[in-house]
Chain A
Amino acid sequence: MIELGHFAAFLALAAALAQGMFGLMGQRRMAGLAAYAGFAVMILSFVTLVVAFARSDFSVALVANNSHTLKPMIYKIAGAWGNHEGSMALWCLVTLGFGAAGALWMRTGRDLFEARALGIQGLLAVGALAYLLFASSPFLRLDPAPFQGAGLNPLLQDPALSIHPPMLYLGYVGYSFVFALAAAGLMEARVDSVWAKEARRWSLAAFIPLTLGIALGSYWAYYELGWGGWWFWDPVENASLMPWLIGAALLHSVVVTEKREGFGAWSALLAVLAFLFSIMGAFLVRSGILTSVHAFAVDPERGMLLLFGLLTYGGFALVLFAMRAPKLSGGKPWMLLSREGALMANNIVLIVAALTVLLGTLFPLMAEAAGRTISVGEPYFNLTFTPMLALLLLILPVVQAWAWGKADLKNWSKWAIAGGALALVFLALGVGLWDISIGAALGLALGAWLVIGALWELKRRAITPGRIFRLPPRVWGMTLAHMGLGLFVIGAVVETTGRYETTVALAEGGSGTVAGWTLTLDQVRAIEGPNWYADRAQLTATRGSAKAIMTPMKRYYPAAQMPTTETAIHKTGTGDLYAALGEQRMVDGAPRWVFRVYYNPMIDLLYFGVILMALGGAFSLWPRRKA
């Protein structure tokens, strides 16, 4: 069965080669057919892999190394991409999928351009498939087959993590098609409005799943790792944040290209960079040159191959860019204080923010080469990355009303007064009423400023309230995304500054108080699951008349010989009461259970904000109604 998949992957390689050849020869129709064929056989190949996992066919080496008969079915299936080889197969599938989708949905009316884009996409698929087949094949047999598999990393046995990799890959690999569009546009030295319309749609198609994928990963880390935090500035997280920042810059720059034919070269460059940063993320994570708690598949040799791919694609694209960029038109004229100028500022900050993340992530490596061991973590990013983005968000509500070419500045004093008043209100409320720090109060003011600003802009565009629902979907998309950003800021500020954490050691029947809640330990029982056993504590949390039963667990997976924490989260309506079970300890001769207990206020608002951003992206993708 798996041999069929192996063979199908070779067929996909042949189809991708054909797609590349026909595409670069300018044969749009043939390249499209090859793209469909490649995608179809790759689906077949991927399905055989998933079936091997579902059936626990341990004669397949990958299944034997990463699965186990006792695993629940959903994790057997998700296990297919919960490892290096399988995730590369997914990468290939998505690359070919975007090729096929491109062949189906590109609408520029430029046959040569579309053919070339498909051709480049085909070549990117050839690279991915060659890497899959010759450097990390998931299709190899094991002889003799073992009776039992080694099991999946227990941390990955989780619903959010089953869909996190596919989402993230839709984003990363989605940018491969944006890369292909940029290369094809540069080849004919025509990066104009028509190009931008097409590139914008595909950038959104990558940006939306990337956003959701990052959020899923963060939410998983929040409840599974058991430390109450939602972003750790871990290299693997940073690797996904960098393409996201570049992708966000691209979404804003490409609008200038679409509406004003400006920033063409810059948009093409960002389109190239978004994909290069995606591959670089894979390289950093998979090569093992960065230490991370999340890096589950590490191999230096594969890392070298990824680096080689990165340099080849990067070199090709940047040479092409250097040759063609001077030939691109500059678009309509504009002043510094204009919509173009504002979007340029957006791009500068987002790119510098991405470079800051890159610097912070790679700096320990560079310093080590120079003989100094340095760690870069949360405090660094809080003092560099965060203020930079805050600056950008501060001007957002004002400049999003600016016109193309030249801004009308007669309202600036009203904006300044409104912003100042908002800050003062929050300072007064924050320091006087809520007893929070000045920084936190200003952070909340910034979030509110964004939400109010987004709604204000919607109202301004509608002119009369009746027209608000007849505005183009793109305006709604922009409003939702910017509002989501504001809600995210509010959630992040409240969560970070208002988080309460403590450790309590309880005997059975004993109780302690945390953030106004009384926690009583009813009992701790040993229980057994399909492929794990656990200590499960039952806590009764009460505050006034509110009452909740919480059951945090400490699981042990014998197959992988690894413990995991299963936190218990009680949603109080305004935040999460969060408990993780720790060790058992003897205190004064009596056994006590240690619990890490957190109160995380408004954490849901933070994720709601991110979902709203993705939803805004989806609205922006919606075609405009014909008037």
Chain B
Amino acid sequence: MKQLVVILISLVLAGFAVAEDVALDDPQQEARAQSLMRELRCVACENEPISQSAAPIAEDMRARVRVMIEDGASDEEVRGWFEDRYGEFVLFRPKADGVAGWLLWGGPFLLLLFGAFIGVAIARSRRAQVDPVEPEDA
């Protein structure tokens, strides 16, 4: 583990020194890198992922993602690396932990369930003998 950290840190320095915005050779690795770049936030910009920022720091961060991917890091490891350095703020895909995380990720689906429940309840309370009528225009 310690070794890995040392390697990573030296890679960081190497990566930041020659920030080159050039695609990886392996198209599958490049695709993974690009999808990660769309969910990491540029720390110096206003609400932009690093995939869409011309800021120098974003360029460095992009290079960092590519270096890590090329080096065999998993998506989770890349996210974790950035989170350790810049905090949760850097993740455009917020984590589903804590009350806040559950509220954010579960909220929409709870609302949908709640809506469906209310809807069915309303429909049931109005149940009666009904004759169907064909719509004539809309």
Contact = CB atoms under 8 A, between A and B. Distances in A.
6 contacts: A291-B46, A333-B128, A333-B129, A372-B100, A374-B100, A505-B22
B89 A384 contact: no
A341 B124 CA distance: 11
B89 A376 contact: no
Contacts of B120: 336
A378 B41 CA distance: 11
B47 A292 contact: yes
Interface string B112-125: 10011011101110
Given A338-B130, A348-B119, A384-B109, A291 B47 contact: yes
A293 B108 CA distance: 26
A187 interface: no
A378 B52 CA distance: 12
Contacts of A380: 92-94, 104-105
A292 to B, nearest CB: 6
A406 B130 CA distance: 6
A73 interface: no
A51 to B, nearest CB: 35
Interface of A: 225, 227, 229, 232, 234-235, 255, 259, 291-293, 330, 333-336, 338-339, 341, 344-345, 348-349, 351-352, 355-356, 359-360, 363, 367, 370, 372-380, 383-385, 388, 403-408, 472, 474-475, 477-478, 501-505, 582, 594, 620, 624
Contact of B23 (A333, A376, A407, A503): A503
Given A293-B46, A351-B115, A377 B92 contact: yes
B21 A374 contact: no
B133 A405 contact: yes
B126 to A, nearest CB: 6
A348 B46 contact: no
B131 A378 contact: no
A359 B102 CA distance: 12
B39 A359 contact: no
Contact of B112 (A292, A349, A360, A477): A349
A335 B130 CA distance: 7
Given A375-B92, A474-B137, A503-B22, A384 B108 contact: yes
A71 to B, nearest CB: 24
B132 A408 contact: yes
Contacts of A405: 130-133
A379 B135 contact: no
Given A379-B39, A403-B134, A477-B138, A335 B123 contact: yes
A406 B123 CA distance: 11
A407 B100 contact: no
A339 B104 CA distance: 33
B21 A503 contact: yes
B52 A232 contact: yes
Contacts of B47: 234-235, 291-293, 375, 377
A404 B41 contact: no
A388 B108 contact: yes
B94 A374 contact: yes
A392 to B, nearest CB: 10
Among B22, B41, B122, B138, chain A packs the most CB atoms within 10 A around the CB of B138
Contacts of A341: 119, 123
A374 B49 contact: no
B54 A330 contact: no
